[in-house]
Structure 1
Amino acid sequence: MPLVVWPAALAMWGPGDMSSKHAHHAMHLMLCRTGTLSIRVDSAKKDTRAAGVLVGPDVPHALDARGTEVVLLFVEPESHDGLRLRASLTESVRLFDEAARDALLASLPREGPIPHAAIGPWMESTLEALAGPTTTSAPRMHPRVRKLLRHLRSDPAPEDTSLEALAEVAGLSSGRLMHAFTESTGVPLRPYLLWLRLQRAAGAIASGRTAGEAAHAAGFSDSAHLTRTFRRMFGTTPSFLQRRSQFVQAQAKAPDAS
């Protein structure tokens, strides 16, 4: 399962699925590798077909991408990248036709496995291509924040992520840390910590661990807590990620079986 640990983004790919009407806080880019999907937004009475869609934060929508493979990108809307994406939206969603989809996916293979190493550059180029006008400049990393990030990304994950404990690690006051962290990463500390925990959980699930094991590894109280948070942020569940991971693993092994 292609997963890239960015401060506030998560990418994955696999078979398309159908979702009932829902909303989630993360911005959501879905691109069909081939074919099209249908989407219904807000109170619209009819579905619209497109080769891809970018959905704004907390926008009620329903999707049907069955019968095709999709590439998904979730972005924290309060992050630097999220603000740039939000600036590109003139409505609650942005639709992409086949030509626009092909341009966005040009650096990735059109079918079969997607190399993990290709996902990071694709995310970067896609966010740049879709970014709207914004006066927000690229953040400059504070050295104490860089130190804290190394601590947060260490393995195993630190158990105490209270503001007081993190301020002590960084060597800054609590108030100064919150300000410096947002300036340095483009996302406030608490949303970043949530994204990091979700990314840890997603990585654990993709590696074959159960939802309960993933929840424990990422600092959630139990699998139910992880599932609720996944659904709120991404509009899906850890079990959905497990199915995608199994699909990707089966695709990767297919050439060996022939």
Structure 2
Amino acid sequence: MLLARPPDLAPRAPWPDMPLVVWPAALAMWGPGDASSRHAHHAMHLLLRREGTLTFRAGTTKVDSRAAGVLVGPDVPHAIDATGGEVILLFVEPESQDGERLRASLDSPARLFDEAARDALLARLPRKGPIAHEAIGPWMEATLEALAGPTEVPAPRMHPRVRKLLRHLRAEPAPEDTSLEALSEVAGLSSGRLMHAFTESTGVPLRPYLLWLRLQRAAGALASGRTAGEAAHAAGFSDAAHLTRTFRRMFGTTPSFLQRRSQFVQAKARPTDAS
């Protein structure tokens, strides 16, 4: 999995003045491909190899699939090997409007794209060489529209009080008190009702989702130049080792990989409301 410093959101600055960033509704990244170990994270993501094919392994299966690209649903265990070529990634938060429409379009945990489908999705971008930063915004719009399900998503899953809580959790600066009691007060629900409504709305329990947000903030800190220890402390992890274990489980790679590779990868955020 590729990660990068989002220049729209987190220009490089010395710590500790640099704010931690929670990624937006959609975020595109592009650069050299690599291999990830088996992992799962809450964001949906599209990965397209600009030329050639990649290998994809879903769940616990030992069978690798070859494809030119893949769209992976939220919280789906998987591994991808795209070494030896350039890739473009599009991360989408499942609870955003874009995410709800993408989920409606998926009838399986992951969707594979052959080379013809990949070429159609990348038609707005050059096949080789550098990608102009200003070309990514229109590409994101067109790609999300091409992949999305119906404009009117039937039976929305998001509880309005959960949506309110998500806005609170993703605000800057991050809320200091994330105890169940404090979050229940923000949502205006009892603790038991909040836990039930949150899982029903997002597909994951509240505590794993909070860990996902902390990991996003740590990734933003790492890509902005902080050390693993600084990022761990700032995002609420006990130490760098705790961050590394969590990073590998959710992203299939290590914080040091992000630190080494971020200078070779560019990113652009989609300026839409995530909730």
Q: Which amino acid aligns with 2:207?
A: R
Closer/same/farther in 2, CA of residues 49 and 221 from structure 1, 3 Å limit: same
C-alpha distance in 2 between matches for 1:150 and 1:84: 20
SS in 2 for 1:18: coil
1:88 aligned to 100, 106, 126, which one?
Answer: 106
Contact 1:206 1:242 in 2 (8 A): yes
User: How many residues get paired?
Assistant: 240
Closer/same/farther in 2, CA of residues 33 and 220 from structure 1, 3 Å limit: same
Aligned equivalent of 1:38: 55
C-alpha distance in 2 between matches for 1:36 and 1:135: 35
Q: When you count helix as a share of all residues, which structure comes out higher? A: 1
SS in 1 for 2:265: helix
SS in 2 for 1:34: coil
C-alpha distance in 2 between matches for 1:120 and 1:202: 26
C-alpha distance in 1 between matches for 2:171 and 2:138: 20
SS in 2 for 1:241: helix
SS in 2 for 1:160: coil
Q: Which amino acid aligns with 1:158?
A: P
2:156 aligned to 107, 112, 137, which one?
Answer: 137
Residue-by-residue CA offset, 1:197-222 (whole Å, 9 max, x unaligned): 12211111111111211111211111
Closer/same/farther in 2, CA of residues 246 and 16 from structure 1, 3 Å limit: same
Structure 1: gaps of 5 or more residues: 250-258
Q: Whose relative contact order is higher, 1 or 2, with alpha carbons under 8 Å and at least 6 apart?
A: 2
1:206 aligned to 217, 223, 231, which one?
Answer: 223
1:243 aligned to 260, 263, 271, which one?
Answer: 260
Equivalences for 1:48-63 in 2 at 5 Å? 48-55=65-72, 57-59=75-77, 61=79, 63=80
Aligned equivalent of 2:176: 159
C-alpha distance in 2 between matches for 1:229 and 1:70: 24
Aligned equivalent of 2:235: 218
2:86 aligned to 58, 69, 89, which one?
Answer: 69
Closer/same/farther in 2, CA of residues 178 and 240 from structure 1, 3 Å limit: same
Normalising by structure 1, we get a TM-score of 0.70
Aligned equivalent of 1:254: none
Contact 2:95 2:158 in 1 (8 A): no
Aligned equivalent of 1:115: 133
The share of aligned pairs that are identical, in percent, is: 70
Contact 1:159 1:219 in 2 (8 A): no
Closer/same/farther in 2, CA of residues 106 and 189 from structure 1, 3 Å limit: farther
C-alpha distance in 2 between matches for 1:48 and 1:184: 31
Greater shift, 78-87 or 218-227, is seen at 78-87
Contact 2:41 2:212 in 1 (8 A): no
SS in 1 for 2:83: coil
Closer/same/farther in 2, CA of residues 226 and 127 from structure 1, 3 Å limit: farther
C-alpha distance in 1 between matches for 2:157 and 2:30: 28
Cα RMSD (Å): 4.0
Greater shift, 50-59 or 200-209, is seen at 50-59
Asked if residue 192 in structure 1 is aligned to residue 226 in structure 2, the reply is no
2:31 aligned to 2, 10, 14, which one?
Answer: 14
C-alpha distance in 1 between matches for 2:24 and 2:220: 13
Contact 2:94 2:202 in 1 (8 A): no
C-alpha distance in 2 between matches for 1:198 and 1:114: 29
Normalising by structure 2, we get a TM-score of 0.66
C-alpha distance in 1 between matches for 2:163 and 2:94: 21
Aligned equivalent of 1:256: none
